[in-house]
Amino acid sequence: MGLTGGIGSGKSTVAQLCAQRGARVVSADELARRVVEPGSEALAQLARQFGGQLLLADGSLDRAALGQRIFADPQARRRVEKLLHPRIQAMAKHAFASAPTGATVIYDIPLLVEAADAADFDEVCVVEAPLEVRLARLADRGLDRAAALARIEQQASDEERRALADVIIDNSGNLEQLARQVEPHLQRWRQRAHALLARTPER
């Protein structure tokens, strides 16, 4: 199952709720960090293509410098995406394949619409919240309004995400209301995982 939503919509919170209830969550953000670990081939390629100034003194990626480099340069952004996305996808496939049989596996992927193929998922779940609610929650997390709006501007729109959604979770309320909405979907995802397990012939 692919779980997505714009920045500050609450998808990580939904992923956490699912993980607390026993689901296996694979995070695209986490994979994106691992793919450029010091010593990785992807990081070496980035440094070759964009220069050593993308590296911090300890050899790790200077994310702020990379962000600045690609912010206003769509061509550079595409080069970076071309380099990283297939590697992240391969890692995600590996993580899915190594999940225990019968587990409910959820892929938390902020850029599902922008960087993945919805057809790869049995179901796409989109978390939504009104813009002002998102901005207020992001402000609480220390991201100011202008920076948050700039990030939102770079992401797909609510309409684009909704067009791919099988399920929409409305996170305009409190955490309890969110958990209540997630529960029936989680039960259905679990049942499906178990049904698949039951159909899998024994080896």
Report the interface residues with ligand ATP, using CB under 6 A.
5, 7-13, 110, 137, 141, 171, 174-175, 178
Nearer to ligand ATP among residue 47 and residue 168 (C-beta): 168
CB of 199 to ligand ATP, least distance (A): 33
Residue closer to ligand ATP, measured from CB, 4 or 104? 4
Asked if residue 12 belongs to a known ligand binding site, the reply is yes
> What's the CA gap between 116 and 164, in Å, rounded?
11
Question: Cβ 129 to ligand ATP, closest distance in Å?
Answer: 7
Q: At closest approach, how far in Å is the CB of 19 from ligand ATP? A: 12
The response to whether 13 counts as a known ligand-binding position is yes
Asked whether the CA dihedral 40, 41, 44, 46 is positive or negative, the reply is negative
Of 80 and 178, CB closest to ligand ATP: 178
Which residue number, 103 or 133, has a Cβ lying nearer to ligand ATP? 133
**2 labeled part of a ligand binding site:** no
Distance of closest approach, residue 38 Cβ to ligand ATP, in angstroms: 24
Q: Say if CB 178 and CB 137 are below 8 A apart.
A: no
Nearest distance in Å: CB 8, ligand ATP = 5
Query: Using CA atoms, how far apart are residues 125 and 186, in angstroms rounded to an integer?
Result: 11
Instruction: Answer yes or no: is 11 a known binding residue.
Output: yes
In the complex with ligand ATP, the residue whose CB is nearer, 54 or 138, is: 138
β-partners of residue 55 are 61
- Residue ranges of the annotated binding site for ATP are 8-13
- Residue ranges of the annotated binding site are 8-13
